Amino acid sequence: MQLSFVKIGLAVPKITLGQPLVNAKEIISIVRNDKKASLLLFPELTLTGYSIGDWMFNRQLLSDNLAAVQYLLDNNDDHLLIVGTMLEINHSLYNVALVIAGKEIIGVIPKQFLPRNREFSDPRFFASGKSLLGSTKTINLLGQEVPVGELLFKAQNQSFSFGVEICGDMWAPVSPGSLLYTKGAEAVFNLSASTFHLGKHEQRLLLAQSSSLKGMGAYVYVSTGASETSSDIVYTGHKIACINGEVILDEEKIDFSSSVSYVDLDLDQIRHARMSSGWFNEFEAGEIRVVPFLLPQRKNFELEKSPRPFPFLPVKEEDAEMIIDVIGAALYKRLQYIGINKVVLGVSGGLDSTLALLTTYKAFQTYGLDKKGIIGVTLPSLATSQESKDLALNLMNKLGITVLEIPISEAVLQQFKLIGHAEDNFDVTYENAQARYRTFTLMNLANQNQALVIGTSDMSEVALGWATFNGDHMAMYGLNAGLPKTTVRYLVNYLKQGFPEIREELTKITERVISPELLPGIQATEAVVGKYEINDFIMYHLLVHGASRAKTVFYLEKVFRMEKTAAENAYDYFVKRFKTQQYKRLTMPEGVKVFEVSLSPRSDVKIPGDMH
């Protein structure tokens, strides 16, 4: 394991029905070819095949099955294996999962819920594992005294625990897996032999995803493949892995040869979700027998799947529409509450004010408000470029809103004179005086027009404190406060299709260097705070998954191909600014939450304003 990852192999072997030793050899071939996984998960009844019907009762098959288990023990290396087979216990036949660690069987888990509808007739062959719970603690299997029943497997050399359920157990109203989570399992593994029919793929995925979401853990599922049989039914080798409701693997492939797919279980992600939730530990878990084991360690760990470089971007187009609709609804609700139908909005020609303008415009359209109630104001100052001013005016004029141009340079210079600040001293006072005067003017205009001042600062700027205190940091409602900069850019690009009359302006705005334009010359924000895609990536993994410094740096190296020192510096810079700028967030205006986390001090981020 590396950085609290556990690599799992989901194996679908070529199955020869009724030939346990042949199937055992196929399993060992997979084991010997694997150099990456600590644990290999195989389907239900891997050794015998699921579809042999009444041949299950054949005494020779039972004997061959035990010989196949012995073959696995004799030929396994240090792998942790979860293999499906059947066992005769107290003159009844059970569908079981064997958990094998090296040369030792460390647990037997019987299937509890036996389907008996349509093509399934499990009770014809097997007894329910519920009959063993509590009454039988261990069985003697090939000379080993093995725990049997409901078990929690807990690694001694790493912090990792898991439980096992089998196929139909997942479909039960209260599944064994759901209880295993409450008793300490960080992952639940399911061995399955699930037949194909249209729509079943989605059903399996829904069940696995729901189990992992409610259990705040990993759910790993593998079903047998097409080599099993074609006698009235077909199997499709479905492989699923989910963490906290997020699907990290969903593969279904008709393949007649053996295959293995790999996933990395992020245990830190699971622990953060459980630790930070308010309900996980409130469930009365009850007792469970714990089986210790040693988790095999692998050298040269490599991620199977890198995290998304832009985790705050909508996955599908409907998500973008929903973001716009939710923001519009939030604005309309606030206007309804106050009893007004006008807003004041500073428009600079930059990304943030452009998106705020467009979402406000769409809200006014949706709820039947007069677009002249949108009072757009451009406030050119000492360092405002002609391009920015022209873009701002073009946007507002083409949309047909109320347009105001209020130059503030003279007023800012007068402010410098009042406080005795030199006009050529380009320090933070020089910058902030301009930002504050803009907000001062917008607030006064709002009073004059009985309007609401729309804040345009985005979530990335709020996180980094990249705003002037009581300047652009302040508004009456923060429309972009739940949207990171990468999302803002995406949405402005997305909205081109809905605003063909300003498509040219929107293209220019998305391609421009991000700048506050408060100093003479070219002032690039990202030259100071770093690339926004890096900051947004760090923010996501820090706040959503609680990722450590080491893990975040590891991700940055992999995803953005950064040198380790550069990645460490980026992380440290973000965290330092995030903590030291909390005082600004403590007085930030209200704004709508869009993603899993927001930065509101009234809801998601409750830390003091003097963090070190």
Express each pLDDT in 502-532 by its tens digit. Answer: 999 999 999 999 999 999 988 999 999 999 9
Q: Is there a domain that residue 396 lies in?
A: yes
The token duo for 155 is: 């690694």
The token duo for 30 is: 């997979």
Q: In which band, very low, low, confident or very high, does the pLDDT at 381 lie, cut at 50, 70 and 90?
A: very high
Residue 304 Cα distances to 10, 56, 263, 264, 446, angstroms: 13, 38, 6, 7, 53
- Same-domain pairing of 248 and 346: no
Q: Are 291 and 107 a contacting pair, CB within 8 Å?
A: yes
pLDDT tops 90 at residue 115: no
pLDDT, tens digit, for every residue of 186-213?
999 999 987 778 888 999 999 999 999 9
Q: Is there a domain that residue 47 lies in?
A: yes
- Collect contacts of 386-389 with beta carbons under 8 A, ≥24 apart: 387/349, 387/508, 387/512, 388/348, 388/349, 388/350, 388/517, 389/349
Residue type, 611: M
Q: Are 32 and 73 a contacting pair, CB within 8 Å?
A: no
State how far the Cα of 1 lies from the Cα of 429, in Å rounded to an integer: 51
Global pTM value: 0.92
Residue appearing with tokens 């897996």 = 177
pLDDT tops 70 at residue 119: no
- Same-domain pairing of 353 and 254: no
State how far the Cα of 506 lies from the Cα of 489, in Å rounded to an integer: 10
pLDDT, tens digit, for every residue of 20-29?
999 999 999 9
Q: In which band, very low, low, confident or very high, does the pLDDT at 2 lie, cut at 50, 70 and 90?
A: low
- Would you call 526 exposed, middle or buried from its count of C-beta atoms within 10 A (0-12, 13-18, 19+)? middle
* φ/ψ bin of 253: left (φ > 0), alpha (ψ from -120 to 50), beta (otherwise): beta
- Same-domain pairing of 128 and 15: yes
The token duo for 262 is: 């790999």
The token duo for 50 is: 């699921």
Range list of β-strands (E), 294-362: 343-346
- Same-domain pairing of 285 and 330: no
- Same-domain pairing of 404 and 446: yes
pLDDT, tens digit, for every residue of 392-430?
999 999 999 999 999 999 999 999 999 999 999 999 999
Q: Mark which of 277, 293, 309 sits at the end of a domain.
A: 293
Q: What is the pLDDT of residue 51?
A: 82
pLDDT tops 60 at residue 541: yes
Residue 346 phi/psi, 5-degree rounding, is -75, 125
Q: What is the pLDDT of residue 165?
A: 97
Domain that holds residue 132: 5-293
**Closest to 204 measured CA to CA, from 227, 220, 225, 187:** 220
What number is the average pLDDT over the span 115-144? 83
Q: Is there a domain that residue 134 lies in?
A: yes
Q: In which band, very low, low, confident or very high, does the pLDDT at 113 lie, cut at 50, 70 and 90?
A: confident
Residue 479 phi/psi, 5-degree rounding, is -70, -30
CATH code: domain of residue 475: 3.40.50.620
- Same-domain pairing of 280 and 338: no
CA-based angle 305:309:313, to the nearest 5? 115
- Same-domain pairing of 224 and 281: yes
CATH code: domain of residue 244: 3.60.110.10
Q: Is there a domain that residue 307 lies in?
A: no
State how far the Cα of 316 lies from the Cα of 95, in Å rounded to an integer: 41
Q: Is there a domain that residue 536 lies in?
A: no
State how far the Cα of 240 lies from the Cα of 177, in Å rounded to an integer: 15
What number is the average pLDDT over the span 182-187? 94
Q: How far is CA 247 from the centre of its chain?
A: 9
State how far the Cα of 293 lies from the Cα of 561, in Å rounded to an integer: 36
Residue appearing with tokens 């729901």 = 210
- Same-domain pairing of 108 and 176: yes
Q: Are 489 and 510 a contacting pair, CB within 8 Å?
A: yes
Q: Are 354 and 504 a contacting pair, CB within 8 Å?
A: no
- Same-domain pairing of 87 and 18: yes
- Same-domain pairing of 326 and 234: no
Q: Is there a domain that residue 90 lies in?
A: yes
- Same-domain pairing of 412 and 347: yes
Q: What is the pLDDT of residue 284?
A: 66
- Same-domain pairing of 265 and 356: no
Q: Is there a domain that residue 557 lies in?
A: no
Handedness of CA 574, 579, 582, 583 (dihedral sign): negative
The token duo for 529 is: 């705070």
Q: In which band, very low, low, confident or very high, does the pLDDT at 277 lie, cut at 50, 70 and 90?
A: confident
State how far the Cα of 581 lies from the Cα of 598, in Å rounded to an integer: 15
Residue 46 Cα distances to 1, 15, 42, 369, 481, angstroms: 27, 7, 7, 65, 53
State how far the Cα of 512 lies from the Cα of 534, in Å rounded to an integer: 18
Q: What is the DSSP letter of 217?
A: S
State how far the Cα of 76 lies from the Cα of 37, in Å rounded to an integer: 14
What is the distance in angstroms between the CA of the first residue and the CA of the last residue of the chain?
A: 32
The token duo for 608 is: 């003091």
CA-based angle 308:313:315, to the nearest 5? 80
Q: Mark which of 278, 293, 308 sits at the end of a domain.
A: 293
Residue 76 phi/psi, 5-degree rounding, is -70, 150
Handedness of CA 328, 333, 336, 342 (dihedral sign): negative
Q: What's the whole-number average pLDDT of the chain? A: 93
Q: Is there a domain that residue 538 lies in?
A: no
Q: Are strands 259-266 and 218-223 parallel, antiparallel or unpaired?
A: unpaired
State how far the Cα of 612 lies from the Cα of 609, in Å rounded to an integer: 9
**Closest to 265 measured CA to CA, from 251, 248, 240, 250:** 248
Q: Are strands 374-378 and 402-405 parallel, antiparallel or unpaired?
A: parallel
State how far the Cα of 596 lies from the Cα of 601, in Å rounded to an integer: 15
Q: Are 107 and 148 a contacting pair, CB within 8 Å?
A: yes
DSSP-assigned beta bridge partners for residue 137: none
**Closest to 223 measured CA to CA, from 215, 233, 213:** 233
Q: In which band, very low, low, confident or very high, does the pLDDT at 57 lie, cut at 50, 70 and 90?
A: confident
pLDDT tops 70 at residue 480: yes
- Bigger pLDDT: 243 vs 18: 243
Q: In which band, very low, low, confident or very high, does the pLDDT at 1 lie, cut at 50, 70 and 90?
A: very low
Q: Domain count of the chain?
A: 2
State how far the Cα of 557 lies from the Cα of 60, in Å rounded to an integer: 56
